[in-house]
Amino acid sequence: MSSVRKQYPFDLIEPKWQAKWEQEQTFRAWNPGEKIPANHPFSRRHSTLPPKYYILDMFPYPSGAGLHVGHPEGYTATDIIARYKRAVGFNVLHPMGWDAFGLPAEQYAIKTGQHPRKTTEQNIATFKRQIQSLGFSYDWSREVDTTDPEYFRWSQWIFLKLYNSWFNPKSNKAEPIETLSYPADITTPEQKKAWQDARRLAFVAETPVNWCPELGTVLANEEVIDGKSEVGGFQVVRKPMRQWMLRITAYAERLLQDLDSIDWPDSLKEMQRNWIGRSEGAEVLFKVASGSETIKVFTTRPDTLYGATYMVLSPEHPLVDQLLTAQWPANIPEKWKGSAESRATPADAVRAYREHASSKSDLERTELAKEKSGVFIGAYAINPVNKEPIPIWIADYVLASYGTGAIMAVPAHDSRDFEFAQKFGLPIRIVVEDPSGKDSAGFTGEGISVNSGPLTGLKTAEAKKKITAWLEEHGVGRKTINYKIRDWLFSRQRYWGEPFPIIWRNGQHEALPESALPVRPPDLTDFKPTPSGEPPLARATDWMNLPDGAVRETNTMPQWAGSCWYYLRYLDARNHDAFVGTAAEKYWMTGSSHSAPGVDLYVGGTEHAVLHLLYSRFWHKVLFDLGHVSTAEPFYKLVNQGLILGEDGQKMSKSRGNVVNPDDILKEFGADAFRLYEMFMGPLEMVKPWNTKGVEGVYRFLGRVWRLFVEEKSEVDFEQSITLSPGKGSELLEKISLNPKIQEIEPTPAQLRTLHATIKKVTEDIEGIRLNTAISALMVFVNEAMTWEKLPKSVMADFLKLLQPLAPHIAEELHEKLTGSSETLAYLDWPKFDPALLVENEIELPVQVNGKVRDVIRVPVDAPTQEIEKQALASEKVQAFIAGKEVKKIIVVPKRVVNIAVAG
């Protein structure tokens, strides 16, 4: 792979310290009330629990491919911060676990017949070994596995909370279903149950869903990308099915509003805002010209109502069949009637068009978006403001699932309506004038209303207000808010997921009691999905059919169920009686002047922007409403790590052959070099290409650190002996002695300045998560220290404390050599930076003429401005540029720069 020589015995050092950390449980985080052993290093520093700091990684799906270099990017960053926070005195919670339900394990099981439990266990073991070999300071006593019954019983328990709650719009929060009140005409138990069932946060609905035949399951909207499944990229079709849904739409407004209270990247917040898709507008009621029906439309531009020249319903709109006329009205263009083969009556045209529309896959509907299609249904609606009859059409550019599934078309001011009207020769009436004076046909912005009765002359915003008031006054409309977000389709036809704690009796669903948890999946040997969409669990008839005639729900929950709340389980991972204990929840989730509410820092990729990160916020808010958690938001601060590309600048993939395996890097350079390189590549959030040569660079740096601390001859002896008797590694390691240049002496002022400049830079950079520049500061220190004749022990000890979060193994080893103490660096005080030490007596000041540097002068740090000006003007080089010119102005920026502005 490369020719770089072995820099230091990382292969002995790293296992040594990893074993010590494990044996000592160095990184255990302590809960309130927990007894901390007196010999634990934490006790030596803290007599009571200090403020908490919760730093979280997105837990991985343990795939068969093993760890990828992308995983440790975020994990290294959080580990550095976790170690730093411990050093500055926090009780740090830094856990890891496994998001282990999911499709790949199940598909592997289908192929090989191997039970997914088995492959999952193997994959977890591999992931854990790989993660541990990087020396991350996780508290493994809190490890969670979403497929463990002791874990998923609580996923099921939260589902029961959702099932047994409703969203009260008055209090704007979830409440127990018992608080629901009933209208006067709801009296019988059956009626009451139906009323409840229609309002639960977890409910059953028959709606068109995303069915993926290849995967044999339905998918949530968030899991479908461009008409294909997010997993596998298979075709997805719309199909009406009876499924479990979660009422996330009830939380649309709060999910949107609360984004303002959290510290997330703007791009991510924007993605969630777009997904929630709030839009303000009005509902308008249109009466049908001949008939008693009214059609409700949603519009964000009620000010354009006078420009509505036709109306469009979605092909699936329930009123279409009622509204159809028996015969075509006289004198309408032939092309309004749809395809030539079936245009005898409006009913024929509608039937043909519906077939045409439903045969299109979602993908085709998107790709063919440019070509508008539709048919007239023979009926007319009356525009409430001007009583004008307008033709009613159906067209697939109107979606059944958004708004009311019907629109008023204003072709002059909506690009889609404009296209449609041009194609079918419908009238285009300008009702808003473009203020820039351009042609107003096709103008979709805000302007001045024209040809609009009482609205004429008003600005768009005022026209909206006025017409909305008019609609409300006349009972033909009102202000409304629409959201793009749909309820969350929550059931899957899979084996490898949490069963629902639900049974069915006489076609009615019932919740199982909490005492029945966990509901374990049955043992199966055939995990295949069924073509009909019947879940595989239905094959286990013994399991499904209960003695009293009830049957179990055979759908399972999606993978998101486990990842929605895992960060809460970490707080109290072994609690058998509750999903999290009250004291633990309060301690870790409550903010203070030192730390944020909820998770202080969450690091992960953007791929979960509208999946896990939205779902988690939703569940958390429900738990908050029901009094189970203390904060309205789970993740206070979030950082997205950027993707790591292959050496060729392309996305890493097996097919490109540019995948870097962390095991290979670790074997050659060690964990510390790997960690350093991942951080040294560039800013955490940035997309950046891998370069193995760069690993050699930081590896050489660690070699220089090593050689700075150890005596050369003992190192040479070590290298010779280890070749002769490789088995005696740890014994030989101890014989390497300290560099005799390191002595218990007072540091020189210059040495102190170097140290304290490094402390300042490293501290500020870690706080700001600028780990690449923190590393470069350590390099600058080492480059400087290598020139020193003697190395003061205190300075070198402080340097190791700064190095520890980034390269913990080598830092611990050298610290042990330096001090003779094997006590871990993890809980030693972070070095304090003393600004007084950075003050110099004389500084160099660049002198500019008209912004260009012409000379550098040395001045006392506290020299008065006049003195600096005088000295700057006295410079020969400067004189060459200002001679014979008029000096207009001299700017002296203290400790920064002098600029002389001259004329000409």
Partner RNA sequence: GCCGGUGUGGCGAAAUGGCAGACGCACAGGACUUAAAAUCCUGGGAGGAUAACACCUCGUGUCGGUUCGAGUCCGACCACCGGCACCA
374-413 footprint of RNA as x/- string (CB under 7 A): ----------------------xxxx--xx-x-x------
The nearest distance, CB 226 to RNA, in angstroms, is 7
Q: Which of 661, 748, 773, 794 binds RNA (CB under 7 A)?
A: 773
Q: Taking CB under 7 A as the criterion, which residues in 645-704 touch RNA? A: 680-683, 686-689, 691, 693-694, 696-698, 700-701, 703-704
Q: Which of 241, 780, 838, 873 binds RNA (CB under 7 A)?
A: 780
Q: Which of 714, 702, 708, 698 is nearest to 787 (CA)?
A: 708
Task: State the Cα–Cα distance between residues 483 and 276, nearest whole angstrom.
Answer: 6
| Beta carbon nearer to RNA, 114 or 776 | 776
Q: Taking CB under 7 A as the criterion, which residues in 268-297 touch RNA? A: 270-271, 274-275, 277, 279, 281
| Beta carbon nearer to RNA, 115 or 700 | 700
Q: Please tell me whether residue 3 binds RNA under the rule CB under 7 A.
A: yes
The nearest distance, CB 220 to RNA, in angstroms, is 12
**Lookup: tokens for 13:** 């050092």
Residues 6+ positions from 640 with CB-CB distance below 8 Å? 265, 267, 268, 603, 604, 605, 606, 685
Q: Taking CB under 7 A as the criterion, which residues in 458-517 touch RNA? A: 482, 484
| Beta carbon nearer to RNA, 50 or 697 | 697
| Beta carbon nearer to RNA, 390 or 681 | 681
DSSP 883: T
In this structure, which long-range contacts are made by residues 109-112, counting pairs with CB atoms below 8 Å and at least 24 apart in sequence? 109/495, 109/496, 109/527, 110/527, 110/528
Q: Which of 802, 800, 805 is nearest to 816 (CA)?
A: 800
Q: Which of 439, 744, 889, 903 binds RNA (CB under 7 A)?
A: 889
Q: Is the peptide bond before 531 cis (omega within 30 degrees of 0)?
A: no
Q: Please tell me whether residue 787 binds RNA under the rule CB under 7 A.
A: yes
Q: Which of 68, 465, 479, 770 binds RNA (CB under 7 A)?
A: 770
| Beta carbon nearer to RNA, 6 or 199 | 6
Measuring CA to CA, how many Å separate 261 from each of 16, 561, 596, 634? 44, 25, 11, 11
Q: Which of 386, 653, 783, 879 binds RNA (CB under 7 A)?
A: 783
The nearest distance, CB 752 to RNA, in angstroms, is 19
Strand (E) or helix (H) holding 219: strand 217-219
The nearest distance, CB 365 to RNA, in angstroms, is 5
Q: Taking CB under 7 A as the criterion, which residues in 335-374 touch RNA? A: 365-366, 368-369, 372
**Lookup: tokens for 656:** 């490109």
In this structure, which long-range contacts are made by residues 327-335, counting pairs with CB atoms below 8 Å and at least 24 apart in sequence? 327/378, 328/378, 329/378, 332/376, 332/391, 333/424, 333/425, 335/424, 335/425
* Planar angle of CA 361, 364, 367, nearest 5 degrees: 155
Q: Which of 262, 432, 610, 857 binds RNA (CB under 7 A)?
A: 610
The nearest distance, CB 297 to RNA, in angstroms, is 7
Span of 112-120, 550-558, 623-631, 894-902 interacting with RNA by CB under 7 A: 894-902
Contact 491, 557 (CB under 8 A): yes
CB atoms within 10 A of CB 415: 11
> Binding-site residue total for RNA (CB under 7 A)?
87
Task: State the Cα–Cα distance between residues 117 and 521, nearest whole angstrom.
Answer: 11
Q: Please tell me whether residue 850 binds RNA under the rule CB under 7 A.
A: yes
Q: Which of 569, 660, 803, 778 is nearest to 71 (CA)?
A: 660
Q: Please tell me whether residue 844 binds RNA under the rule CB under 7 A.
A: yes
Q: Which of 25, 294, 606, 737 binds RNA (CB under 7 A)?
A: 606
Q: Please tell me whether residue 865 binds RNA under the rule CB under 7 A.
A: no
Task: State the Cα–Cα distance between residues 491 and 217, nearest whole angstrom.
Answer: 9
Q: Which amino acid does the sequence have at 774? A: A
Q: Provide the Cα torsion 188, 504, 158, 101; round to 10°.
A: -160
Q: Which of 184, 330, 724, 893 binds RNA (CB under 7 A)?
A: 893
224-263 footprint of RNA as x/- string (CB under 7 A): -xx-------------------------------------
512-551 footprint of RNA as x/- string (CB under 7 A): ----------------------------------------
Q: Please tell me whether residue 877 binds RNA under the rule CB under 7 A.
A: yes
Q: At what angle do helices 793-803 and 771-785 cross, to 10 degrees?
A: 160
